[in-house]
Amino acid sequence: MRRLKNSIIRTALLLVAFLFCLEVTAAAASPSTGLENIFKPESTPAKAISDFSIFVLIITGIIFVVVFTLLVYSISKFRTNPEDANREPAQVYGSTQIEMAWTIIPILIVVVLVLATARTIHAVQDAEMPPTAVEITAIGHQFWWEYRYPKLGIVTANELHIPVSDPEHPTPTFLKLLSADTDHSFWIPQLAGKTDLIPNHPNSMWMDPHRTGIFLGQCAQYCGTQHAKMLLRVSVDSHEDFATWVHAQHQPAVQDAKVAEGRRVFETTACVNCHAVNGTIANGRFGPDLTHLMSRDTIASGAAENTPEKLHLWIQNPDAIKPGSLMPAMKLSDTDLDSLVSYMETLR
């Protein structure tokens, strides 16, 4: 009975260990695409981190197997034998040699890990900015992202466009990270580790995506009520697409006579206090720049798709999409709302 119980215990423990190892391997080698797996890097810093992480995983994995085996062995081998339960086992108080051994071996492991760590920190953090780099200032707001391209003269929000970087002719992106209010953190798992945006404490980070596509992430540092819906969306464009996008962003806001009524609503309500549209009186900076709103796939920092219906809902009742966001409900009449949304629809 006791033997049976012990073998059950042992099997259960082995099962747990096995499941754990399985899950680690599954996560590390997951072939599923589309997931923002930190072990599927698509840029140099993320690759450096991922390679280093796998090295750390291997070392800790070996330690795990060794200590786990020792543990399982000792609890299964040294259980009480009911036949001589009355005799106490030999009383051993310690052994200097053995204790030296299990002090020195961990020290050696730590030395190896420290060297690898320092090397990776230096490689990622102290990288020089090449003259071909794209410079962007990212400003965290409650609960959206503002992006400024100072050299290109572009201000946009929430969806970051950066060029792909060919290892032969690198065009990495260097981000300067600022915060307008509370702490935030910029995290695109496949492109780089996270770096916080802290008020009065400018930070920087860089990434050089090796392929085009959309990369997702989100604010990682708790920043207030809607921390959860402060999503990040990075569009890595080919050089041609990036040039097209830059050109489009340079265009002044569309002035369409058909939606003059919508523009009037926009300019005569509180919208202009927070939002900017180039070429109008709207130059607010508390909310996202709307000059090229329609060039973005999402609104409300990724909380909803950029469709006329969602825009309607967002303007009239933001809490339905993102409760606690700082966008107020505008309480417009239906006709005003319709014309405002038609105006928004023209801001390509």
Partner 1 sequence: MSTDAIAIPNVQIEPRPWIQVLHDWVTTVDHKRIGILYVLYALFFLVIGGIEAIFIRIQLMYPHNDFVSPQVFNRLFTLHGTTMIFFVAMPILFGFANYLVPIMIGARDMAFPRLNAFSFWLSAFGGLLLYFSLLGGNGLYGAGNAPDVAWWAYAPLTARAFSPGHSSDYWTLSVLVSGFGSIGTAINIIATILSMRCPGMKLTRMPLMAWLSLVMGGMVLITITPLSAAQIMLLIDRYLGGHFFDTQAGGSAYLWMHFFWIFGHPEVYILIIPSFAFMSEIVPVFSRKPIFGYPVMVGATICIAFVSMSVWAHHMFTVGMNSYANSFFAITSMCVGIPTGIKIFNWIGTMWGGKIQFKVAMLFCIGFLFQFLIAGLTGIMLAAAPFDWQLSLSYFVVAHFHYVIVGGILFALFGAFYYWYPKVTGRMLSETLGKWHFWLFVIGFHACFDTMHFPGLLGMPRRIYTYEPGRGWDTMNLIVSIGAFIQGIAVLIFVWNLIRSYWKGKVAGNDPWDAWTLEWSTSSPPPAYNFATIPVVASRRPLWDLKHPEDPDSRYE
Site for partner 1 in 156-185 (CB under 8 A): 177, 181-183, 185
Query: Counting contacts by CB under 8 A, is residue 189 touching partner 1?
Result: yes
Whether the upstream peptide bond of residue 143 has omega within 30° of 0, thus cis, is yes
Query: Minimum distance between the CB of residue 149 and partner 1, rounded to whole angstroms?
Result: 21
CB 281 within 8 A of CB 335: no
Under 8 Å between Cβ of 20 and 14 = no
* Dihedral angle sign, alpha carbons of residues 154, 159, 160, 166: negative
Residue 4 engages partner 1 in binding (rule: CB under 8 A): no
Of residues 198, 236, 253, 238, the one with CA closest to residue 220? 198
Instruction: Please spell the DSSP secondary structure of 192-255, one letter per residue.
Output: ---EEEBTTB-EEEEE-BSS-EEEEEE--S--STTGGG-EEEEEEE-HHHHHHHHHHHHSPPP-
Site mask for partner 1 (CB under 8 A), range 275-314, x = bound: ----------------------------------------
Is 224 near partner 1 (CB under 8 A)? yes
> Least CB distance from residue 236 to partner 1, whole Å?
16
CA distance 53 to 61: 12
Decide: is 48 part of the binding site for partner 1 (CB under 8 A): yes
The single residue among 324, 330, 338, 346 that binds partner 1, judged by CB under 8 A, is 324
Applying CB under 8 A, which part among 145-153, 227-235, 260-268, 288-296 lies near partner 1?
Answer: 227-235
Among 160, 192, 271, 300, binds partner 1 (CB under 8 A): 192
347 and 291 Cβ atoms separated by less than 8 Å: yes
**Taking CB under 8 A as the rule, does residue 187 contact partner 1?**
yes
Looking at the Cβ atoms of 85 and 257, the one nearer to partner 1 is 85
Distance, in Å, from the CA atom of 301 to the CA atom of 141, rounded to the nearest integer, reads 10
Binding mask 57-86 for partner 1 (x = CB under 8 A): x-xx--xx--xx-xx--xx--xxxx---x-
Size of the site for partner 1 (CB under 8 A): 100
Among 148, 161, 227, 233, binds partner 1 (CB under 8 A): 227
Take residue 243 and report the two structure tokens written for it.
């040039």
Does residue 39 interact with partner 1 by CB under 8 A?
yes
Q: Does 193 bind partner 1 (CB under 8 A)?
A: yes
Tell me how far, at minimum, the Cβ of 307 lies from partner 1, in Å. Answer: 17
81/333 with CB nearer partner 1: 81
Look up tokens 């926009």; give the residue. Answer: 266
- What's the min distance (Å) between Cβ of 180 and partner 1? 10
The interface with partner 1 within residues 5-24 (CB under 8 A) comprises 5-6, 9, 12-13, 16-17, 19-20, 23
Count of CB atoms situated within 10 Å of the CB of 279 = 10
- Rank residues 124 and 347 by Cβ distance to partner 1 and give the closer one: 124
Asked whether 187 and 232 are in contact (CB, 8 A), the reply is: yes
> Which pair of tokens denotes residue 317?
């009742």
Cβ-based nearer residue to partner 1, 34 or 167:
34
DSSP secondary-structure letter at 291?
T
d(CA 243, CA 228): 32
